[in-house]
Structure 1
């Protein structure tokens, strides 16, 4: 009886072990099949992504936009900014414009002429276009960055042009009398400091200077210095030092003014001579 029971138990253990091995084999096959199915799908999606990206890059690279990166001009000049766009195929333009000072200044196919700017569109063929912005009477407030932006069916591209001002000389006004001398620099750019000289002596520290800016961004700088008595025969000179340019804006050599006392004495002596001459002539007649 004991022998028969042991044999039955051994047979039962063998069936259980076989069942476990079968289940494990089935799970391994299922996992392998699932992995085999997922791998082609992942590869397919990756391929689609890279293909789409490559096409997008190719289309974007097919559009060229050209501008001058930097311009420099004197005040009062007309400054022209040109933007050329081209494509290897027909260019479907949705928006094409010049931007500056946080606003749109010039639009494609919206030509205009204003006192401060002009906008002109040129179409050479279906794949070459030009947008020109001209700044009239260039002023210091026009200094800055201007962006040419293109939005087409092939994508969005942009380039910028930086416009700088070289110098505005403006006008120099000066005056002098027996008590003080004054120099005024009107409509200059950039700003500066008025330097005073009498011969080789630098008198700048004893001067009084005021400055303001007009609506065009130009500077008006006036400086006054008290004239020392007894030194009027040595001329005073004024000039404008512009630190940002490391140069002088030439000023003027102020004329010599005679002292009031000496001038009055000379005039009195002249009249006395005339009166004496008249008396002598009458006596002789």
Structure 2
């Protein structure tokens, strides 16, 4: 005979076992009822490109059920809904009903860093729910560049960079990155402006300087530029000066 505790009410062991079995069955049912939608888990894109995410629900998922809601969400915001085709400068949404099931296509135009993240596709039916997701990863973005050699420093500036990069400096075959100073600033759209400079050695001015933007995320250089008397800024100034001199000779 089971002993009764003096600290609380007596509970029959059979009730405990029955409760455990009931909870186990309930959890198993909830897990089995969870449906997964067909989506592409990872999507990689360069800046400025258009990305299309497609979510498919097979007939085995939607059969004998009433469609309540079918949508794409990003950061808890609904971007796209089935039977409500949206077309804006940024988002295009289209739903379709085919013999193989339902599909919901979301197109994001002109991808920027703020578009990076996990997009959730959610399907709500009268009997159950299903979900899927796609993770957009934005990489190797670079807009304009500027380099100069003045005031005792060689400098390079990289605009619209994403993810943030690392500037490596060389003079000839020598790595002089340790002597450089680099800082960055991120704008509201998620892009970085990376600025770096290194002191110029007057006694060894004949050796050209090189600044290269290294992307740790993809483990490669995406830009490399010589900074010397032959760089764009100096060449432009030389051309202007020569033009003035030639004009004076002609006159």
Query: Separation in 2 of the partners of 1:147 and 1:166?
Result: 21
Query: Corresponding residue for 2:50?
Result: 78
Whether 2:176 is the aligned partner of 1:203: answer: yes
What is the root-mean-square deviation of aligned Cα atoms in Å? 2.7
Query: Corresponding residue for 1:25?
Result: none
Q: Is the 8 A contact 2:168 2:177 kept in 1?
A: yes
Structure 1 length-normalised TM: 0.64
Residue 187 of structure 1 and its aligned partner are, at CA, apart by 0.9
User: Residues 57 and 252 (structure 1 numbering): CA distance in 2 closer, same or farther, change over 3 Å?
Assistant: closer
Query: Corresponding residue for 1:14?
Result: none
Q: Is the 8 A contact 1:172 1:251 kept in 2?
A: no
- Which of the residues 48, 66, 73 maps onto 1:92? 66
Residue 195 of structure 1 and its aligned partner are, at CA, apart by 1.4
Query: Corresponding residue for 1:153?
Result: 126
- Which of the residues 120, 123, 130 maps onto 2:97? 123
4+ residue runs over 6 A deviation: none
Whether 2:115 is the aligned partner of 1:142: answer: yes
Q: Secondary structure at the match of 2:137?
A: strand
- Which of the residues 70, 73, 81 maps onto 1:107? 81
User: Residues 176 and 121 (structure 1 numbering): CA distance in 2 closer, same or farther, change over 3 Å?
Assistant: same
Query: Corresponding residue for 2:146?
Result: 173
Q: Is the 8 A contact 1:123 1:129 kept in 2?
A: yes
Q: Secondary structure at the match of 1:148?
A: strand
User: Residues 178 and 212 (structure 1 numbering): CA distance in 2 closer, same or farther, change over 3 Å?
Assistant: closer
Query: Separation in 1 of the partners of 2:132 and 2:80?
Result: 15
Structure 1: stretches of 5+ with no match in the other structure: 1-45, 258-270, 272-285
- Size of the aligned set, in residue pairs, is 204
Structure 2: stretches of 5+ with no match in the other structure: 1-20, 231-244, 246-251
Residue 132 of structure 1 and its aligned partner are, at CA, apart by 0.8
Residue 219 of structure 1 and its aligned partner are, at CA, apart by 1.2
Query: Corresponding residue for 2:224?
Result: 251
Which has the higher relative contact order, 1 or 2, with Cα contacts under 8 A spaced 6 or more apart?
A: 2
Residue 64 of structure 1 and its aligned partner are, at CA, apart by 6.9
User: Residues 64 and 220 (structure 1 numbering): CA distance in 2 closer, same or farther, change over 3 Å?
Assistant: closer
Query: Separation in 2 of the partners of 1:141 and 1:194?
Result: 23
The structure with the largest helix share of the pair is 1
Query: Corresponding residue for 1:16?
Result: none
Residue 57 of structure 1 and its aligned partner are, at CA, apart by 9.1
Q: Is the 8 A contact 1:189 1:219 kept in 2?
A: yes
User: Residues 133 and 251 (structure 1 numbering): CA distance in 2 closer, same or farther, change over 3 Å?
Assistant: same
Q: Secondary structure at the match of 1:110?
A: coil
Structure 2 length-normalised TM: 0.72
Larger radius of gyration, structure 1 or 2?
A: 1
- Which of the residues 33, 37, 49 maps onto 1:65? 37
